[in-house]
Amino acid sequence: DAGITQSPRHKVTETGTPVTLRCHQTENHRYMYWYRQDPGHGLRLIHYSYGVKDTDKGEVSDGYSVSRSKTEDFLLTLESATSSQTSVYFCATSSGSEDTQYFGPGTRLTVL
């Protein structure tokens, strides 16, 4: 395992409020990723990072922003949460761009 933790593990919030999810890894992996999982869609990439302060958009990035100020932490922010962002969010890391991604335990977010 890559020693990946996510916080919080569960969160309920209201529409329009800001939300930040945290991913923390202890393996010194260079690459980090945020995915969302919805029924019938598998996992879809939101944003990814290829180094400190280096990030880029994934397939479903609208409404999300990320930051990576340290190798071990990758933050996902919903500036103004909407009900369509109710989902399970997974963080993943990999040591190299072509290496296997290992996943955190996930965060279940409900936006009312």
Partner 1 sequence: AQKITQTQPGMFVQEKEAVTLDCTYDTSDPSYGLFWYKQPSSGEMIFLIYQGSYDQQNATEGRYSLNFQKARKSANLVISASQLGDSAMYFCAMREGNTGGFKTIFGAGTRLFVKA
Q: Tell me the closest approach of the beta carbon of residue 97 to partner 1, in angstroms.
A: 4
Q: Are 5 and 74 in contact (CB under 8 A)?
A: no
CA-CA distances (angstroms) from residue 52 to 13, 31, 49?
Answer: 29, 9, 7
Q: Which of 11, 20, 22, 45 binds partner 1 (CB under 8 A)?
A: 45
Residues 67-96 that bind partner 1 (CB under 8 A): 88, 90, 92, 94
Q: Tell me the closest approach of the beta carbon of residue 23 to partner 1, in angstroms.
A: 13
Report the distance separating Cα 46 and Cα 85, nearest Å.
Answer: 11
Q: Tell me the closest approach of the beta carbon of residue 69 to partner 1, in angstroms.
A: 21
